[in-house]
Amino acid sequence: MIRARVAFAGAIHDASPARSDRPGDLLDAEELTLADGRIVSGADVVWLPPFEVGTVIALGLNYADHAKELKSKRPEEPLVFLKGPGTLLGHRGMTRRPADVKFMHYECELAVIVGRTAKRTRRSSALQHVAGFCIANDYAIRDYLENWYRPNLRVKNRDGATVLGPWFVDAADVPDPGNLSLRTFVNGKLTQQGSTRDLIFDIPQLIEYLSSFMTLWPGDVILTGTPEGVVNVMPGDVVTCEIDGLGRLVNTIAADREFGR
């Protein structure tokens, strides 16, 4: 099953592609069917993160090529950081780039959504705890990187800088999450490409690791890291992240003035 959460005409709705039989409709849904039966245009709704998000757990340097790109060593233990709810944003949203920064970049990532409580879960059964998947674009502003509690929140926990969506795709509809291509386009030009085949710590390993010390609850989400190919983005840029079978997540970079600054 594939679904979105959207705001439309005074309420928040679960929605699905109206024409899921049409090839490509997952990429650009022209029409959505709301849970109450109404059919609405995808352009007329506000897209929200596609599920009720609990704890946001993110991975740094989980692709060998990206680790090399940032001149970092391949980690021995997953490099995990946490994010708060204020940073979340839906499909077709705007993310602010402060005027004074030199390097703000996107990160296209496979997001793994927990469906069943996981506590000291072994990797062999870990995928049974996964409800589904979505695309994440986890922005960073490298200018603000300091060597204290990296990656510090000013880099990675900014308002509206963690984009999730457009769809929540059931785990049953993703036969091999360990073999999905990821692509990012900036204004239509391909800038980032990778495959979840190249994850240093794969999904079962991450669930085993995390659940060894923290209980994962339904709605908790693991952003599994990004491959190489991160480039600077500027106000007005349209950043599109794609993952096989999960759709296409669009975000626009906005200037300070659009946020009243």
Partner 1 sequence: MLADAGLFSIPCDVPPFRLSGTVYGALLNHRSALAALGETARRPPYDAPPIAPVLYIKPRNTLSLPGEVVRIPAGTPELEVGASLGLVIGRTACRVSASSALEYVAGYLIVADVSIPQASLHRPSIRFRARDGFCPLGPAVTACAAVANPDGLSIRAFLNETLVQSASTADMIRPAGRLLADVTEFMTLRPGDVLALGAAAPAPRVRSGDTLRIEIDGVGSLSIPFMEGEA
How many Cβ atoms sit within 10 Å of the Cβ of residue 65? Answer: 13
Q: Residue 43 is encoded by which pair of tokens? A: 């352009």
Q: Residue 60 is encoded by which pair of tokens? A: 């740094």
Burial 34-59 (b: 16+ CB within 10 A, else e): beeeeebebeebebbbbbebebbbbb
Nearer to partner 1, 21 or 148 (CB): 148
The H or E element containing residue 114 is strand 108-114
CB of 54 to partner 1, least distance (A): 6
CB of 255 to partner 1, least distance (A): 16
Residues near partner 1 (CB under 8 A): 54-55, 57, 77, 79-87, 120, 144, 146-150, 152-154, 157-159, 212-217
Q: What are phi and psi of 113, to 5 degrees?
A: -105, 125
The CA distance from 244 to 35, in Å, is: 25
Nearer to partner 1, 13 or 83 (CB): 83
Nearer to partner 1, 29 or 136 (CB): 136
What single DSSP character describes residue 64?
A: H
Nearer to partner 1, 33 or 157 (CB): 157
Nearer to partner 1, 153 or 255 (CB): 153
Length of the chain: 261
CB of 150 to partner 1, least distance (A): 4
CB of 219 to partner 1, least distance (A): 10
CB of 9 to partner 1, least distance (A): 25
Nearer to partner 1, 152 or 205 (CB): 152
Strand pairing class (93-96; 247-254) = parallel
What single DSSP character describes residue 258?
A: G
Is residue 182 within 8 Å of 110, Cβ to Cβ? yes
Name the nearest CA neighbour of 108 among 3, 190, 42: 190
Nearer to partner 1, 92 or 96 (CB): 96
Tokens 């599920």 appear where?
51
CB of 121 to partner 1, least distance (A): 14
CB of 97 to partner 1, least distance (A): 12
